[in-house]
């Protein structure tokens, strides 16, 4: 799924080989609601300068990318362990059923809708340009930024270097994919160091989430390096204060992951219980697998535009606790939204927040 706490030279954050990703465009000159005052940075504990494994990692990164060895050692060494962060990475205890209605209520609320209307109106020209250039609807971009940070109000107050170091060197081994996730965060720390080494900025300054995601769109360091764009052409990329760069970057991220212009992310779906093979339809999870004909043959009922759709579909199930689940037919674009955050509940929140904001714009 996140952004940068101060501008960086464009050359260091050029868009990646593919044209699309997770960045958001908006104009510096465009009016925007001021973000709420951020809390003081969370303070870590023991510095990693005392850790042999951390210093060995610093030496390896410096050698691999020909960076100044002392600078890398000082940067990693000045990072501090965040004692409460590792437990935040552990999966929720099993047993409690998922509940789409409850999940939705956390993101589709009057505060986000009102802020989204303001963001959209303030950046309407930039959103329209991004939609025309990247094919990603304004409501999806607005939905992402709203779900992630309420348009910059909640961008996180952890020092990014502390968060990344903590998860790179102290990832909880009780996690079922501990080795894989630890490798991921070491890679993100490496990406952060490479970017910071090319600037004259203080690498201790950037703030973000407890997982190291930054800015309005909450980009991880590797996503910034690959997908962030200078969408207003001012020679720098700023995902914290510049809505144009945020909008363009998010649109670029999605196009890079295969967004299909003009294709709805979801269609309504019903069931013909007499021939329903729900387990077959649910087997691929959120991956679009079935043609419309195969979908219907499995007992799904499609309506209107969906009957003429020529792409592949997935049956998306959203559990509602002890109540019946909610179902939709997901297209490739639904799957692309989950590349930002691997959750069908997250993707539906983005879609529905964007729709609610669009409806409020028309009132």
Active site residues: 148
Compute the Cα dihedral for 192, 193, 194, 200 and give only its sign. Answer: positive
Helices within 47-158 (DSSP H only): 52-65, 69-78, 85-88, 100-107, 110-122, 124-134, 138-149
Query: CA–CA separation, 2 vs 15, rounded Å?
Result: 15
Packing angle, helices 52-65 and 160-169, rounded to 10: 110
Q: What Rg, from alpha-carbon coordinates, does the chain have?
A: 21
Instruction: Tell which residue, 333, 312, 344, has the closest CA to residue 140.
Output: 333
- Cβ neighbours of residue 85 closer than 8 Å, sequence gap 6 or more: 158, 163, 166, 167, 210
Nearest to 15 by CA among 196, 176, 179, 256: 256
Decide: 343 and 351 in contact? Cβ < 8 Å: no
Interaxial angle between packed helices 344-361 and 138-149, expressed in degrees from 0 to 180 and rounded to the nearest 10 = 110
**Can you count the helices (H) and strands (E) in the chain?**
15, 9
Q: Decide: 291 and 329 in contact? Cβ < 8 Å.
A: no
Contact assessment for residue 139 and residue 358, using Cβ atoms and an 8 Å cutoff: yes
Give the total residue count for the chain: 363
């Amino acid at each position: 799924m996140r952004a940068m706490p101060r501008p960086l030279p464009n050359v260091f954050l050029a868009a990646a080989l593919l044209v699309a990703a997770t960045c958001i465009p908006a104009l510096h000159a465009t009016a925007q609601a001021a973000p709420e005052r951020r809390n003081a940075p969370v303070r870590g504990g023991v510095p990693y300068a005392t850790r042999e494994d951390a210093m060995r990692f610093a030496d390896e990164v410096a050698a691999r990318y020909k960076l100044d060895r002392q600078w890398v050692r000082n940067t990693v060494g000045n990072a501090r362990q965040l004692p409460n962060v590792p437990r935040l990475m552990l999966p929720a205890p099993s047993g409690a059923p998922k509940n789409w209605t409850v999940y939705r209520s956390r993101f589709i609320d009057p505060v986000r809708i009102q802020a989204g209307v303001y963001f959209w109106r303030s950046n309407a020209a930039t959103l329209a340009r991004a939609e025309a250039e990247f094919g990603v609807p304004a409501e999806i971009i607005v939905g992402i930024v709203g779900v992630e940070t309420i348009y910059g109000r909640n961008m996180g107050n952890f020092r990014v270097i502390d968060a990344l170091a903590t998860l790179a060197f102290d990832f909880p081994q009780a996690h079922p994919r501990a080795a894989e996730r630890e490798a991921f965060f070491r890679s993100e720390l490496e990406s952060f160091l490479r970017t910071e080494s090319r600037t004259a900025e203080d690498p201790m300054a950037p703030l973000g989430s407890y997982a190291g995601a930054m800015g309005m769109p909450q980009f991880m360091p590797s996503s910034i390096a690959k997908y962030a764009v200078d969408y207003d052409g001012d020679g720098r990329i700023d995902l914290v204060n510049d809505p144009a760069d945020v909008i363009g970057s998010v649109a670029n991220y999605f196009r890079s992951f295969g967004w299909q212009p003009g294709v709805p992310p979801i269609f309504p779906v019903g069931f013909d219980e007499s021939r329903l093979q729900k387990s077959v339809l649910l087997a691929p999870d959120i991956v679009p697998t079935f043609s419309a004909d195969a979908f219907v043959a499995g007992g799904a009922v499609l309506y209107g535009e969906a009957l003429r759709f020529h792409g592949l579909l997935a049956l998306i199930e959203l559990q509602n606790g002890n109540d019946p689940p909610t179902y939709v037919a997901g297209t490739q674009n639904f799957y692309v939204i989950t590349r930002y955050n691997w959750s069908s509940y997250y993707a539906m929140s983005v879609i529905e927040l964007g729709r609610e904001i669009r409806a409020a714009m028309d009132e």
